[in-house]
Structure 1
């Protein structure tokens, strides 16, 4: 046996964990009351791997399942003549005591950045 072959046999083979497993642990790691180190230890994982999965989850790279949020529709308002529908639209998002209002037609890239910033 050559030295290179012995070295290859010593290396641990990386495991491909199921996406749902990664997502579940990453979601648990997002909870401030959970110790990421203890979570990793419970599952026999390296802590850095769980931190990486958490970053990937927050970046939307783990294909997070669709989550529905409660939506309340305001009473319809009359749009004045000559005003386009896009000019009269608005979006309002309430998070705790903060309220985000977007009036008119937002730039799609800016809106995407705002909505990404709302993710936990």
Structure 2
């Protein structure tokens, strides 16, 4: 049993390291793995491991930082005065949302209900 636990909570609850959570969540996502058996083998509650797996799939549980983690350069393009939209006109901006392995591009004027449905299905 390889369980990484730190104490430090006033209620006596264990604090598991992010690396431990990530490693077990990845193992729980593998085909043919019994999440209950994996949790039992590591002495943790099955529901906790299911939550870690959901968090991993939703992109909320990240792996350990590696030496390859680095900042990327950002380049800002100067805007020309004539490129400003007329007063009262909506901006044509867009955003990208990345959850786990999926990227959703949302353009201005997107239907909020449809976007909510898409994001909920990605988190499932």
Which bin holds the TM-score, normalised by the shorter protein?
Answer: 0.3 to 0.5
**Structure with the larger RCO, 1 or 2 (CA within 8 Å, 6+ apart):** 2
Under a length normalisation based on structure 2, what TM-score does the superposition of the two structures give?
0.45
In our comparison, the structure showing a higher alpha carbon Rg is 1
Under a length normalisation based on structure 1, what TM-score does the superposition of the two structures give?
0.47
More helix by share: 1
